[in-house]
Amino acid sequence: MSRLLIVGPQGSGKGTQGVRIAQAFGIPAISTGDVFRGAVAAGTELGQQVQAIIEAGNLVSDELTSAVVRDRLAQPDAEHGFLLDGYPRNVVQVMHLEEFLEGRDEQLDAVIELDVPRDESIARLSLRAAEQGRSDDTEEVIANRLAIYERETAPILDIYRTRGIVDRIDGVGTLDEITERIISALEARGLVRPAAA
C-alpha cells in the first residue's frame, strides 16, 4: 500500500517519473490533467462543469479540482494506493486532500520532490517547445509558469516537510538514474514494491 505525491516544477520530468514509479509500485498514476480529461470524456456532471470552465479559458477552482480528484481516488483501482501528480497544487488543496484521506483513515506515505535547477527546467521546456512546435512555450511563458509553481506549489512542501515525509530527489540525470533514486528513497521508507507476477 503506497500513497504517494510527486511534486516538481514544469520541466522536471514529474509526469514521466510519476508513471514509472506508479508502475513499479503497482498503483495508478493520477494526474490532474488526465482526471479532468477523463471526467469530461465520461460526460459526468463534474466533467461538464470542468469542460465549461476550461473552454472559457479559466482555471478550475480548488473546490471543483478537489471534488474531481476525490471522485477518482474513490475508484477501486486506487483502493490500495495511488500516485498523485499535479494535485494538490496549493495549500488549500492540501487541506482538501487531508480531509478526504482522514475520512478514510489514511494519509500520504511519501512526497517525492524532484529537484531541478530553474535554468535546467527552462532549457528542457524550451527544447520540448521546439521539438513539438509549441509556440505558446516562450521563455517568458515558461518563466511565468515556474514563478506560479514557486509561489503556490513549493509552499506545500513545507507542510509535508514538517511531517518528515518529503524525499528530495536530484532530478538531473538519465530517466533510469532518476527512477532508481526515487525507488531507493521510497524503499528506504519501508514502502515495498509488489512481487513481479
Q: Catalytic site residues?
A: 14, 89, 128, 134, 145
The H or E element containing residue 93 is: helix 91-103
Secondary-structure breakdown of the chain: helix, strand, coil percentages, each rounded to the nearest 5:
60, 15, 30
Q: How far apart are CA 166 and CA 31, in angstroms?
A: 19
85 has which bridge partners? 6, 31
Q: Are strands 29-31 and 110-115 parallel, antiparallel or unpaired?
A: unpaired
The H or E element containing residue 176 is: helix 175-188
- DSSP assigned state of 78: G
Please give the span between the terminal C-alpha atoms of the chain, in angstroms, as a whole number. Answer: 17
Cell of 110: 511519501
Q: Does the bond joining 88 to the residue before it have cis omega, within 30 degrees of 0?
A: yes
